[in-house]
Amino acid sequence: MATPAEELKDPVEGVGCSRKRKEDARFIQGRGNYVDDLKLPGTVFGTFVRSPIAHGKVVSVNKEAALALPGVLAVLTAEDLEPLSLHWMPTLAGDKQMVLADGKVCFQYQEVAFVIAEDRYVAADAIELVEVEYEELPVIIDGRHSMDDDAPVIREDLQGQDAGAHGERIHHNHVFRWDVGDAEATDKAFEGAPVSVSEDITYQRVHPCPMETCGCVSDFDKISGELTVYLTSQAPHVVRTVVSMLSGIAESKVHVIAPDIGGGFGNKVGVYPGYVCAIVGSIVLGRPVKWIETRVENLAATAFARDYHMRGELAADKDGRIQALRVNVIADHGAFDACADPSKFPAGLFAIVTGSYDIPTAFARVDGVYSNKAPGGVAYRCSFRVTEASYLIERMMDVLAQKLGLDPAEIRSRNFIKVEQFPYQSCLGWEYDSGDYHTAMDQALEAIDYQGLRKEQEEKRANGELMGIGVAFFTEIVGAGPTKNCDILGIGMVDSCEIRVHPTGSAIARLGTKSQGQGHETTYAQIIATELGIPSDDIQIEEGDTATAPYGLGTYGSRSTPVGGAAAARAARKVKDKARRIAAAMMEVSPADLVWETDRFVVKGLPDQSRTIKDIAMAAYQHLPEGLGQGLEAVEYYDPPNFTFPFGAYLCVVDIDRFTGEVSIRRFYALDDCGTRINPMIIEGQVHGGLTEALSIALGQELVYDEDGNILTASFMDYFLPTAVETPHWETDFTVTPSPHHPIGAKGVGESPNVGGVSAISNAVIDAFAHKGVTHLQMPHTAYAVWKKINELGMNK
């Protein structure tokens, strides 16, 4: 973390400064602009009638009583949306989903009707008056049974279709089969291997649960024909394009604005039925329609995360050198595949499953399946399934270590990709940009006195106590991504930055990403400040208004720094090029005769001959030699040449109460390498937050359903969010291995702590039992689950 002295050194408070955030001012004074804060005159309120059952035919819908309630303006059903072809909508994953129940419902809390009323309280009364008759159908909740011979048909709309967006479908509840790697070579390696291990590992269904739920205000101007939608979106431009396609209104007349967003974590990427219904309502009624979901609706019906049933296998030699990795996954996508993946990657970037290790051959197969649960799958700081992949390999390393009687840190060290191997071609097709794993691991192990802890563990074990040390060394892949293979609905995953410098030297920059708390108004300003010598305080950053911001694919998958940040640096460099030419003209020298120093161009060898960026900015709006042209601005659409590969060494020490099963995190040490660090204070904050989410997942979160498909954890009574009491102190550290292909060497860090944190904590809990031969325990590691194992082993006597 930059000390005050370091900060004083940087007059523009640019890259590397732990400067305070520029956006804080409005938030600490209660002047944030979140969607529900918006008050357009004449606004009416929409809310859903939702299915109480997980699977069933909709026999009838009776709106009469609801429509008769004073204050109710409309009750929309699929019937009303059908003439507009909006009763179904395409998903980001090449599937389609019902906007409103069309003949049947496929998950509990699915949207059945949309009631619009003058105020929210009346709307809440009205939904109780809509009478819906259902005929229940059998339910599939466990994805492992979705492809049983007698499994009920969930998607009647896909009947007879033996191919989907991602190829062949082998069963009526099959979504796709995705293979990566060399199956033959891998199978061969397993056949010949001296040692092999196998483990069934489920990464349970969880939910990102940002503090602000999803919502929108849709406003259609009948006179101008323009549609304005304010909504909780991490990807406002994509939403605009989709809305234009669905509504038939030209994209130039659709204005999507994502204002302040109270946390996203992947929950706010896709298009929800609430947005579509509000838009339709606003067009039909000619009044702004506001839809804000409740917490129960958020947890039960919006983008969930994970639900991957994985079988991992490692083949190795007797020294623990891995020879092959084989993975089979059943991916439960819920009733509709609405996964927010780049379109060619139905299992996201799961091919990172070889992790930080130099594995000669690997094969992974992911079968996506349908079940009677809400749609989604890619969310919750997962970097597109990287959390699942990383958890798999980090667990398998421990399983292998245990089989061979090797230390978990040691076995990782033996298999690390070596620093001289970078850029590294993984056997599953990625080119890892840079890394120095051994240095990071050594630094981490030393910082916590790993050897001392293992000794303590030995003593405690002799005493019948339960202490665990979890090691996780993750490499993740972020910054989607190169347009040659990364697109969302066909739009290449670039991102963009437009910078304009004003005559008096301050500037504005607009980007296609969208912060939900990550501090972009500060960090992008810092990047541009360092490039242009303008103090970051004087650089205004805007995101989220699609009418003014250049097109971008939004913020998720930790892509803002690798893609948006690169666009910002490159746009700034374009501005600087022009500034150089202007300065040269002002000083009557050739541009090549100038050198840049912090905030000015200086003539080589003549230190008194200089022009500051401020001088140049003013000159840019005055008379200039022919060919230059006034103005000082540039736009850059950045197509990243590759993803970036942040990595980290996380170590977790737990003590387990053997009489209750309670897991207590005694110490957690997180070393992150995200390349160039733009604002260390903000990075630390991201790590604290991500680790806390990791703790939630590892120790308590799960979306649980009973056998009838009723969701049991759709409120904070049972969906575990830790308070400050349950959250430990997090220790953070870092190394810096810049990305060679990124303009400022930065990789991104937002999701790393969730990727590495879950593995470290889970590995620690399981490590506590390793001496008893326990190779795996299913998350979440609640006191109850842990106690069951303790009791089984008789360790509570």
Partner 1 sequence: MAKKLISLTVNGQTHEVAVEPRELLIHTLREQLNLTGSHIGCETSHCGACTVDFNGESVKSCTLLAVQADGADILTVEGLANDGVLHPVQEGFTEKHGLQCGFCTPGMMIRVYRFLQENPSPTEEEIRAGISGNLCRCTGYQNIVSAVQYAADKMSAE
Partner 2 sequence: MFPAKFDFHAPASIDEVLSLLVEHGDDAKVLAGGHSLLPMMKMRFAAPQHLIDLNGIENLRGISQDGDTIVIGAMTTENQLIASDLLASHCPLVPEAARQIGDPQVRNRGTIGGDICHGDPANDQPAVTMAADATYVLQGPKGERSVHSSEFFLGSFYTAMEADEIMTSIRIPAANGSSGSAYVKLKRKTGDWATAASAVQLTLDGDTCTSIRIALTNVGPKAFRVAAAEEALSGKSIDEALINEAAEHAMAACEPTEDLRGDVEYKTHMAGEMTRRAIRQSLARAGGQ
Question: Which residues belong to the active site?
Answer: 234, 381-382, 751
The residues binding partner 1 (CB under 8 A) are 20-21, 23-32, 34, 36-37, 39, 120-121, 209-213, 260-263, 265, 294-296, 516-519, 681-682, 684-686, 688-693, 715-717, 721, 723-725, 727, 729-730
660 contact choice in partner 2, partner 1, none (CB below 5 to 8 Å, kind-dependent)? partner 2
Q: Map the footprint of partner 2 across residues 647-676, applying CB under 8 A.
A: 659-662
Q: Does 707 bind partner 2 (CB under 8 A)?
A: no
560 contact choice in partner 2, partner 1, none (CB below 5 to 8 Å, kind-dependent)? none
Q: How many CB atoms lie within 10 A of CB 624?
A: 16
**Which alpha helices (H) appear in 656-751, and where do they start and end?**
680-699
Beta bridge partners of 250: none
Q: Which residue type occupies 734?
A: F
**CA-to-CA distance for 28 and 38, rounded, in angstroms?**
18
263 contact choice in partner 1, partner 2, none (CB below 5 to 8 Å, kind-dependent)? partner 1
Q: Which residue in the set 713, 735, 739, 752 belongs to the binding site for partner 2 (CB under 8 A)?
A: 713
List the Cα angle 293/337/282 in 5-degree steps: 40
Q: Which residue in the set 375, 648, 700, 750 belongs to the binding site for partner 2 (CB under 8 A)?
A: 700
Angular region, 629: left φ>0, alpha ψ -120 to 50, beta rest:
left
List the Cα angle 336/342/343 in 5-degree steps: 65
**CA-to-CA distance for 392 and 755, rounded, in angstroms?**
11
Which of 91/692 has CB closer to partner 1?
Answer: 692
Beta bridge partners of 312: 199, 327
Which of 34/551 has CB closer to partner 1?
Answer: 34
Q: Does 69 bind partner 2 (CB under 8 A)?
A: no
Stretch of 158-166, 194-202, 343-351, 783-791 contacting partner 2, by CB under 8 A: 783-791
468 closest CA partner among 688, 756, 786: 786
779 closest CA partner among 339, 392, 264, 461: 392
125 contact choice in partner 2, partner 1, none (CB below 5 to 8 Å, kind-dependent)? partner 2
Q: Map the footprint of partner 2 across residues 101-160, applying CB under 8 A.
A: 120-121, 124-125, 128
45 closest CA partner among 82, 74, 88: 74
Which of 40/783 has CB closer to partner 2?
Answer: 783
Which of 537/662 has CB closer to partner 2?
Answer: 662
Stretch of 198-206, 404-412, 600-608, 776-784 contacting partner 2, by CB under 8 A: 776-784
Q: How far is the CB of 516 from partner 1 (least distance, A)?
A: 6
Which of 182/718 has CB closer to partner 1?
Answer: 718
Reply yes or no: is the peptide bond before residue 780 cis, omega within 30 of 0. Answer: yes
Which of 462/724 has CB closer to partner 1?
Answer: 724
Which of 117/400 has CB closer to partner 2?
Answer: 117
Q: Which residue in the set 198, 244, 775, 782 belongs to the binding site for partner 2 (CB under 8 A)?
A: 782
List the Cα angle 601/607/612 in 5-degree steps: 30
Q: How far is the CB of 659 from partner 2 (least distance, A)?
A: 5
- Phi, psi angles (nearest 5°) of residue 608: -80, -15
**CA-to-CA distance for 150 and 26, rounded, in angstroms?**
57
Q: How far is the CB of 248 from partner 1 (least distance, A)?
A: 34
Q: Which residue in the set 294, 485, 506, 775 belongs to the binding site for partner 2 (CB under 8 A)?
A: 294
765 contact choice in partner 1, partner 2, none (CB below 5 to 8 Å, kind-dependent)? none
Which of 685/740 has CB closer to partner 1?
Answer: 685
Q: Does 791 bind partner 2 (CB under 8 A)?
A: yes
Which of 4/605 has CB closer to partner 1?
Answer: 4
List the Cα angle 392/396/398 in 5-degree steps: 125
Which of 615/662 has CB closer to partner 1?
Answer: 662
Q: How far is the CB of 510 from partner 1 (least distance, A)?
A: 20
**Residues contacting 339, CB < 8 A, separation 6+:** 91, 92, 93, 333, 346, 348, 376, 377, 378
**CA-to-CA distance for 480 and 245, rounded, in angstroms?**
24
Q: Does 723 bind partner 2 (CB under 8 A)?
A: yes
Q: What is the largest CA-CA distance in the chain?
A: 90
720 contact choice in partner 2, partner 1, none (CB below 5 to 8 Å, kind-dependent)? partner 2
712 contact choice in partner 1, partner 2, none (CB below 5 to 8 Å, kind-dependent)? partner 2
Q: How far is the CB of 704 from partner 2 (least distance, A)?
A: 6
517 closest CA partner among 234, 208, 171: 234
DSSP 366-425: EEEE--SS-SEES-SS-TTTHHHHHHHHHHHHHHHHHHHT--HHHHHHHHBPPGGG-SEE
Q: How far is the CB of 678 from partner 1 (least distance, A)?
A: 14
433 closest CA partner among 673, 724, 143: 673
Q: How far is the CB of 718 from partner 2 (least distance, A)?
A: 5
Beta bridge partners of 672: 648, 734
674 contact choice in partner 2, partner 1, none (CB below 5 to 8 Å, kind-dependent)? none
DSSP 452-503: HHHHHHHHHHHTT-EEEEEEEEEE--BS---TTT-EETTEE--EEEEEEE-T
Q: Does 492 bind partner 2 (CB under 8 A)?
A: no
Q: Does 344 bind partner 2 (CB under 8 A)?
A: no
Q: Which residue in the set 259, 787, 789, 795 belongs to the binding site for partner 2 (CB under 8 A)?
A: 787
Which residues contact partner 2 (rule: CB under 8 A)? 120-121, 124-125, 128, 294, 296, 659-662, 700, 704, 712-713, 718, 720, 722-723, 725-726, 782-784, 787-788, 791, 796
